[in-house]
Chains A and B, each alone.
Chain A
């Protein structure tokens, strides 16, 4: 459709619209929020362009905190100020929070069953694999940079093998990494 190419975007007009948009992101985001955030805000409701979306998410990935949670605050602020940030954040978390509490309560009842425990631990291990896959995807861009690989290895070993506190690892890693980066070694 040509109208898709042209892409007329308009931010949400009311706080209710903002809330309902983020509510529908949270409600449907099984297996990851990011794809649904894109679907709702860029494709369905056309609040923003794909490029704008990518840039906003990019910034939020770089900041501490949950990426899409941060995006809800940044976008809510952009469109409606403090009220917008709160409304978007609450909309995003309202339904998933209820759902996860319900699952937790349900699981407490069946957790004594060995089969159920084994299955849930298996799900957790599969989820652990997502982390590894994500690290590999992000790490591909760094393969040809020895300095960057050294930082990756150092951070990995300190946390995964050394089990050191991030309170120690983060400042040291940040200092080393910034030094390398400012010398153009990353």
Chain B
């Protein structure tokens, strides 16, 4: 039953995650913490941090949440559900996209999608940095990390994560 819930919720997220996981971070937090109570608010940030510290696509947070809910089976089901429906769409659209290469409809769609993705990604950042009551220390770390990423394009993001860990240990 819990596996089915995981499959359905992550499958839903997969289909609507236009622009990647970042776009649905707010929604994932809403489902996992507020609606389904799979994880505590603070725990959600910790799992996200673990997903970031590991190599690989950041959707791995899905497998960590699945693992919290139902062990290894939960981890596999959540990751598969998060990837497969979107993968199916990618499979189908990649052919179609080629055919409509010069279509004005394609350009209209791209223009419509761009600002939505930007708004959802920014919202995902704020949701992640606000696990409980607003905390200026978390916002400070997030702001410094964002500034670092913008100022030093070539810097490996791992350094910023490490800095965030140190600041967290010092401030929190």
Q: CB within 8 A of B14: which of A28, A65, A95, A99?
A: A65
A134 interface residue (CB < 8 Å to B): yes
Q: Which of A31, A99, A142, A153 counts the most B-chain CB atoms under 10 A from its CB?
A: A31
B122 interface residue (CB < 8 Å to A): yes
Chain B interface, DSSP helix/strand/loop, else mixed? helix
- The complex places the Cα of A118 from the Cα of B120 at a distance, in Å, of 27
The residues of B that contact A128 with a CB separation of less than 8 Å are 45, 48, 124-126, 128-129, 138, 142, 145
B37 interface residue (CB < 8 Å to A): no
A9 interface residue (CB < 8 Å to B): no
A186 interface residue (CB < 8 Å to B): yes
Specify the chain B residue showing the minimal Cβ separation from A36.
B55
- The complex places the Cα of A153 from the Cα of B148 at a distance, in Å, of 24
A–B pairs, 28, beta carbons within 8 Å: A29-B57, A62-B18, A65-B14, A65-B85, A65-B86, A66-B86, A68-B57, A89-B83, A93-B57, A96-B54, A97-B63, A99-B55, A120-B165, A121-B131, A125-B141, A126-B141, A127-B52, A127-B161, A128-B145, A130-B125, A133-B146, A135-B121, A135-B122, A151-B115, A151-B116, A154-B119, A156-B119, A177-B113
Partner-B contacts on A (CB < 8 A): 26-33, 59-70, 73-74, 77-78, 85, 89, 92-93, 95-97, 99-101, 103-104, 107, 111, 115, 117-139, 141-142, 145, 147-149, 151-156, 158-160, 163, 165-167, 170, 173-174, 177-178, 180-182, 186
